Structures are given as structure tokens and as C-alpha cells.
Structure 1
Amino acid sequence: MFEIRVICTPDDADRVRAAVAAAFDTGPARQYSTRDRKRTRLYFTADHREPGTTPTSESE
């Protein structure tokens, strides 16, 4: 298990969440603003996905 941190624009947050959930088994993303309040920090607890599996509604 490992942590992923992504800094992105608020408009990209949903797209980033979907992309990370498609690549890894994740829990819900924790979301915080950056200090300048112009971007968003997303934190995921993740694990490698077993080959051939698809994301579940819990990981999206």
C-alpha cells in the first residue's frame, strides 16, 4: 500500500480522481486547497490493481 499526492487545478480534480482509480485500487481521495488557493491537492491511499480487474464503485 502507498500514498499518491496529486496537485492539479480544481477543474481537473474529477478527471484525476477517475484516472488514478482506473490505474490503482484506491480509497476515497482526500482533497485540500494549496496554500495559494489556486490549485487542489488530492491524496489517495492506493494499492496495485490485480491484472484484469476493473474499478469498483468504492474506489471511484
Structure 2
Amino acid sequence: MTGPGTFEIRVICAPEDADRITAALADAFTTGPVRAYPTRDRNRVRLYLTATDRTPALAERPVDLDR
């Protein structure tokens, strides 16, 4: 379950790419624990992460009214 401002990411990749992809997502977003499961064919892995965008929403950004 995700709360306001959070979303779920699912990636299907080769097992040897999982750490690199997970690190890249953690650099781009605030992420929770990674859940990893094999695909049905057992050749790839499914990664699930709950993420939150680090950039504040446009409405939450301060506005400089003196401009």
C-alpha cells in the first residue's frame, strides 16, 4: 500500500543488473526496501520498490513574490 506522494516501481531485469538498477533508483528517489522475486522462467528477477519523489510538489515550493 502506498500513501500520498508515494508510488510503486516494478522492474524486470537480469539478476546481474539488479544491484545497479536498485542503486540508480535509490539515487533518483527515496525508496523503501527492495522486494525481489524470480520471474516464472527463472531467468530474470522482478524488483518491487515503494518510492517517493524527492522533488517537492510544485504547490509546495516557495514562491518569491518580489520578482
Give the TM-score taking structure 1 as reference length.
Answer: 0.81
Amino acid at match of 1:23: A
State percent identity of aligned pairs.
Answer: 67
Give the TM-score taking structure 2 as reference length.
Answer: 0.73
Task: Write the mapping of 1:1-60 to structure 2, written as runs, cut at 5 A.
Answer: 1-50=6-55
The number of equivalent residue pairs is 51
Q: Higher relative CO (CA 8 A, sep ≥ 6), structure 1 or 2?
A: 1
Runs of 4+, deviation exceeding 4 Å:
none
State the structure with more CA Rg. 2
CA RMSD of aligned residues (A): 1.1
Give structure 1 stretches of 5+ with no counterpart. 52-60
